[in-house]
């Protein structure tokens, strides 16, 4: 086995069909419209929407320019474009859900602090003789 | 106001974390007032849906009500933050279900006055109090306790026999440490590791405890197996955390 064979093996052989590309493009556009609508109706904060919008754009780009997916497959060393697509999608979703767990943890900590603050304020209001240390 | 002896001028707080303990809370408050007469008594009501807060107020305790149930760790931390803000020098804590005699908490407070940063009451200490045969617990519970003790003792290189004990007393140094960060789910176990790693002087004091007067412990065989597993993970991660510095 020589080097040429090694690289030849990574040449993508399975590509997306035109039907699949059209479907992907339509879904990508619908997805981005949904994001815009969610922001418009105050169901989604802008700062959480950007990453989803970028994802929609990437989907659209992949559907319009198949060469991008082929480059991706080559970079990953797989011969099947769809496998490259699934792998990357899976990784992106994994990273996103981890990101949301981090956000949820932070918010849960903030909620606890708020609850504690409100409990302490309640005691001090009720018993003003328990004097607060001025800071 | 400052007395001749430094210890006497220290403001003391005894707090009772309570979640739906209306049956026992009044007795616990009066026990605390009787045995630690120079302390303010506060109930941290962890989102109770029964009359815990109302009965506590009527019994003359301060009441800090969390707006919703946050778990025992958040309740403890509420008291530490309150104590620091209101310049209490020592705080003692006992459970709201009547298992912890306040006379024993008074002994823990003495340990802190004698120099411990954190004093923990142990039911299972080999040096049990004379006259008390020791705490009766089911086999599964004892096994779990043994396992926790082994894990915590190994990770801290200090012997602990009752790692889930909520009967404690602590000084400002320990309160500051826990006000900054305190595990909400694994409060008792993880805080021991946290305190020892921060260089605090943690002392285990043999105490006697009573059987629960009302209600059941939330620990069942299935949840306890899962709890032990989670605690193992938490302790492992605790070993990897950067050390907090106790002032």
Q: What are the residue ranges of helices labelled H in chain B? A: 6-9, 25-35, 52-58, 72-85, 102-113, 139-156, 172-180, 187-197, 221-240
Length of chain A: 135
C-beta atoms of B64 and A115 within 8 A: no
Interface test with B, best of A111, A116, A121 (most B CBs within 10 A): A116
- Where do the domains of chain B lie? 6-240
To the question of domain B6-240 being in CATH 3.30.360.10, the answer is: no
C-beta atoms of B85 and A120 within 8 A: yes
Q: In what order do the strands lie in the sheet with B168-171?
A: B62-66, B39-46, B12-18, B90-93, B168-171, B118-122, B202-206
pLDDT at B196 over 90: yes
Q: Hey, is the C-beta of B108 within 8 angstroms of any chain A C-beta? A: no
Q: Hey, is the C-beta of A119 within 8 angstroms of any chain B C-beta? A: yes
Chain B stretch 170-189, residues whose beta carbon is closer than 8 A to a beta carbon of chain A: 184
Distance CA B179, CA B92 (A): 15
pLDDT at B132 over 60: no
- On the 0-12 / 13-18 / 19+ scale of CB atoms within 10 A, A91 is exposed
C-beta atoms of B67 and A123 within 8 A: no
Per mean pLDDT, which range of A106-120, B15-29, B58-72, B126-140 is the poorest? Answer: B126-140
- pLDDT number for residue A134: 46
Q: What percentage of chain B has pLDDT greater than the value 70?
A: 85
- pLDDT number for residue B109: 97
Q: Which residues of A touch B63 (CB under 8 A)?
A: 122-123, 126
Q: What number of other Cβ atoms are within 10 A of residue B151's Cβ?
A: 20
Q: Which residues of A touch B176 (CB under 8 A)?
A: none
Quick one: average pLDDT of A16-39?
93
Query: What's the pLDDT tens digit per position in B5-43?
Result: 445 579 999 999 999 999 999 999 999 999 999 999 999
Of B64, B77, B87, the CB nearest to A122: B64
Q: Hey, is the C-beta of B167 within 8 angstroms of any chain A C-beta? A: no
pLDDT at B177 over 70: yes
| CA nearest to A113, candidates B195, B77, B176, B63 | B77
C-beta atoms of A130 and B68 within 8 A: no
Sign of CA dihedral B77, A109, B181, A127: negative
Q: Hey, is the C-beta of A125 within 8 angstroms of any chain B C-beta? A: no
Q: Which residues of B touch A132 (CB under 8 A)?
A: 85-86
Q: Which residue of B has its CA nearest to A118?
A: B66
Confidence of residue B143 (pLDDT cuts 50, 70, 90): confident
C-beta atoms of B81 and A132 within 8 A: no
Confidence of residue A135 (pLDDT cuts 50, 70, 90): very low
Q: Hey, is the C-beta of A47 within 8 angstroms of any chain B C-beta? A: no
Q: Hey, is the C-beta of A104 within 8 angstroms of any chain B C-beta? A: no
- Where do the domains of chain A lie? 3-126
Burial B95-104 (b: 16+ CB within 10 A, else e): bbbbbbbbeb
């Amino acid at each position: 086995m020589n080097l040429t064979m090694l690289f030849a093996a990574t040449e993508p052989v399975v590509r997306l069909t035109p039907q699949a590309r059209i479907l992907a493009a339509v879904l990508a556009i619908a997805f981005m419209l949904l994001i815009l609508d969610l922001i418009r109706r105050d169901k989604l904060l802008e700062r959480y929407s950007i990453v989803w919008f970028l994802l929609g754009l990437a989907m659209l780009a992949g559907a319009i320019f198949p060469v991008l997916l082929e480059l991706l497959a080559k970079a990953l060393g797989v011969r099947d474009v769809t496998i490259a697509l699934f792998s990357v999608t899976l990784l992106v979703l994994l990273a996103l859900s981890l990101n949301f767990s981090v956000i949820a943890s932070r918010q849960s900590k903030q909620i606890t602090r708020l609850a504690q603050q409100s409990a302490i304020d309640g005691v001090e209001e009720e018993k003003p003789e328990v004097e607060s240390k001025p800071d | 106001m400052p007395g001749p002896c430094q210890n006497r001028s220290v403001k003391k707080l005894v707090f009772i974390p309570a979640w739906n303990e209306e049956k026992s809370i009044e007795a616990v408050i009066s026990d605390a007032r009787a045995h630690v007469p120079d302390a303010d008594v506060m109930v941290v009501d962890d989102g109770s849906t029964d009359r815990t807060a109302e009965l506590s107020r009527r019994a003359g305790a301060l009441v800090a009500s969390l707006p919703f149930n946050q778990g025992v760790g958040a309740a403890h931390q509420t008291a530490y933050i309150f104590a620091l803000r209101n310049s209490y020098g020592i705080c003692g804590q006992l459970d709201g279900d009547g298992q912890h005699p306040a006379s024993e908490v008074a002994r823990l407070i003495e340990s802190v006055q004698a120099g411990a940063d954190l004093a923990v009451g142990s039911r299972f200490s080999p040096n049990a109090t004379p006259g008390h045969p020791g705490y009766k617990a089911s086999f599964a519970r004892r096994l779990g306790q043994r396992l926790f003790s082994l894990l915590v003792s190994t990770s801290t290189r200090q012997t602990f026999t009752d790692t889930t004990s909520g009967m404690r007393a602590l000084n400002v140094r320990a309160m500051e440490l826990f006000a900054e960060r305190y595990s909400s789910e694994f409060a008792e176990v993880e805080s021991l590791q946290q305190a020892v790693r921060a260089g605090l002087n943690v002392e285990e004091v043999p105490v006697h405890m009573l059987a629960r007067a009302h209600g059941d412990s939330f620990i069942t065989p299935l949840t306890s197996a899962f709890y032990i597993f989670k605690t193992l993970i938490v302790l492992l991660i605790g070993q990897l955390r950067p050390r907090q510095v106790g002032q």
